[in-house]
Structure 1
Amino acid sequence: RDKEYGAYLRQVERGNIVFGGAAERVAVDLDPGHAVADPMRLPAQLRAVARLLPAIAKVAVIRTWSGCEGYMRDMLPVMGRSATTPGLFHAFGFSGHGFQLGPGVGDAMAEL
């Protein structure tokens, strides 16, 4: 992981390299119902990831995807029972750290 640019990569079992990060955070239009990857941002991401693995600069990108990350204004996640819907529990707004915190969050939510 490149802390300066936020780039990361890992090789999956079949040999492909999955990389991400190193992209400017932008507002998302939720109307299409899903996040859309912007191909114009890919070259900058590849350059940042190449700082970790120089050989990746010449790879063929076979697919892209994008996702939304939830950020709260105070940068603190929301966890707990819904104030309006019985039986509904919330755990969101982890500011890009949800995957890392997921197992612990699941344990904490199971205690509620």
Structure 2
Amino acid sequence: VTEPLPHRILPVVGIWTRDKDYGAYLRQVERGNIVFGGAAERVTVGLDPGHAKADPMRLPVQLRAVARLLPAIAKVAVIRTWSGCEGYVRDMLPVMGRSATTPGLFH
């Protein structure tokens, strides 16, 4: 998460690629911080303790990937990191399908 900046980016911006060093996403929250991620090899997370830890060694690779989408981010201070767990299928391709409850929504 970056320091707050003037709020200018409305959509979530991202690119998905099989090359782990290039896939990245970013979004800007109303306060102005840019939340970004991607460009990291997926790792297995154990069920105990039940949460993932951010690996600071991955930050330079992530910043390079995000800078391809938004070059100005190279001059912005990163103020905190976080990590979370996501589920993936073995081939790493997204699974898409219609929502069972909302017409026109795809997951």
TM-score by length of 2: 0.60
1:46 aligned counterpart, secondary structure? helix
Q: Tell me the equivalent position of 2:85.
A: 68
Report Cα offsets for 1:5-61 as digits up to 9, x if no partner: 220111110111111111111122332221100001001100100001111112211
CA separation of 1:30 and 1:59: change in aligned 2, threshold 3 A: farther
CA separation of 1:30 and 1:84: change in aligned 2, threshold 3 A: farther
Tell me: higher relative CO, structure 1 or 2? Use CA pairs within 8 A at least 6 residues apart.
2
Gapped regions of structure 1 (runs ≥ 5): 91-112
CA separation of 1:32 and 1:23: change in aligned 2, threshold 3 A: same
Q: Which has the higher helix share?
A: 1
Report Cα offsets for 1:90-110 as digits up to 9, x if no partner: 9xxxxxxxxxxxxxxxxxxxx
Q: Give identity over the alignment, percent.
A: 93
CA separation of 1:75 and 1:42: change in aligned 2, threshold 3 A: closer
Larger Rg: 1
TM-score by length of 1: 0.58
Aligned partners of 2:27 and 2:34 also within 8 Å: yes
Gapped regions of structure 2 (runs ≥ 5): 1-17
Once superposed, what is the RMSD of the aligned Cα atoms? 6.0
CA separation of 1:45 and 1:79: change in aligned 2, threshold 3 A: closer
Matched pairs, number: 90
CA separation of 1:75 and 1:61: change in aligned 2, threshold 3 A: closer
